[in-house]
Structure 1
C-alpha cells in the first residue's frame, strides 16, 4: 500500500490530492467547532492565564467526551475539579493542533518539521477519536467491521461513508507515525 508521508533530509513530506485536502480541512473545522468552549475565557486575568474554568461540565456528546475524558474515574467530584483546572487549556491545545494542520493543507506538498508532524499527529488522532465514537468502535471486532468497507462506491449510507473516512484518516495517521519513527531513527 502506498504511503502518504515519508521521511527525508528536509523533514517529513506528504502529498495529498485536492479532494483529500478538502476532506481533511472540513474534518478539522468540524472538530474545532466541537471543541470551541461554550463560555468565554474567565474574566479574572489570573484564572484566564492558568486556564481555570469553573463553568465546565462533563460533555453530553459522547464524541466530545472521548476527546475530553474524565481524568479521574469513580470520583465525580475529583473528576470535575481536574476538569476545571485543565479542560480549557486542553481544548486550546487541541484546537491549535487542528488549526496548524489545516494551515498545512494550503499546498499539495506538505513538508513537516518535527513540531509540525506532532501537531498533525494530534489532529489526525482527534479526528479518528470522533469518527470512532460516531461509528461505535469499542474493540478490535468493531474495528474489523469498519475495515471491511473498502471502496467509495460501497458507501451507500452514512455509516459506510464514515467508515471509509475513518479508514482514510487511520491510513494517514499510520503513514505519518511511520515517517516520524524513520525520521527519529535517521537523526540518531
Structure 2
C-alpha cells in the first residue's frame, strides 16, 4: 500500500507496491502515447524544423488532448492558431520528457526516491495524467466528482475500467500529487 511522498535527507521519497507502480507506469505510457506528435515541425522549411515550428494550428479534436494542449487565446482564433503553430511541438516534447522522467524513475528498485528536479517532473506528469482521466470521465468542476461518484454507486462499477475504478485511480493520483507538492515545499530535515 502506498505511502505518500515526504522529504528526507536523501531526497523526496514514497513507497508504492508493485500494483501501484504498474498502474502508474501504464498511465504514464498512455498519456505519453496520446502526446505523440502527429503535427511535427514543418516538413518543407529547414528553419521551421530546426526551431520546432509546427504545422498544427487547430486545437486537437480529442477532448483529453485539448485539455493538455489548450488554446492560448480563446477570444482570438487567429492568435490562438499562430501561437499553437509556434509552441505546440515544444510543449508536446516537454510533456513527453516529463512523463518519461516519471516512468523511468518509477522503474527504480526499492522506495521511489526523487531529487527535486525529478519531483517537479512528477508533479507535471501527474497533472497531465489527471487531466486526461478527468476529461475521459467528464470531470470538469468539483460538483462533477460528486455526480460521478453517485453514478458509479448506481452502476456498481468498481471493476477495472469501470467508472468507480477510474474515480478511485483519479483520487489516488490526486492524493499522491498532493503529498508530492507538500514534500517539495518542505524544508530539508535538520542535519542535512
Counterpart of 1:168 in structure 2 is: 172
Give the Cα–Cα distance (whole angstroms) in 1 for the partners of residues 15 and 69 of structure 2.
Answer: 31
Residue 46 of structure 1: how far off its partner (Å): 2.5
- Report the 3-state secondary structure (helix = DSSP H, G, I; strand = E; otherwise coil) of the residue aligned with 1:111: strand
Question: Which segment drifts farther, 88-97 or 158-167?
Answer: 158-167
1:146 to partner: Cα distance = 5.0
CA RMSD of aligned residues (A): 2.4
- Aligned residue in 2 for 1:128: 130
CA apart distance, 1:79: 0.6
Which is worse superposed, 58-67 or 35-44?
A: 35-44
Cα deviation per residue 1:102-147 (whole Å; 9 max; x = unaligned)? 0011123111111101000010000000111111112111133456
Secondary structure of 1:116's aligned partner: helix
For the Cα contact (< 8 Å) 2:37–2:92, is it kept in 1?
A: yes
Instruction: Show the counterpart of 1:32.
Output: 32
Q: Which runs of 5+ in 2 are unaligned?
A: none
Q: Which secondary structure state, in structure 2, belongs to the residue aligned with residue 4 of structure 1?
A: strand
Match of 1:155 in 2: 158
Give the gaps of 5 or more residues in structure 1.
none
- In structure 2, C-alpha distance between the alignment counterparts of 1:35 and 1:21, rounded to whole Å: 21
Indicate the residue corresponding to 1:116 in structure 2.
118
Aligned to 2:107: 106
**Shift of residue 160 of structure 1?**
1.2
Normalising by structure 2, we get a TM-score of: 0.86
User: What's the TM-score, normalizing by structure 1?
Assistant: 0.88
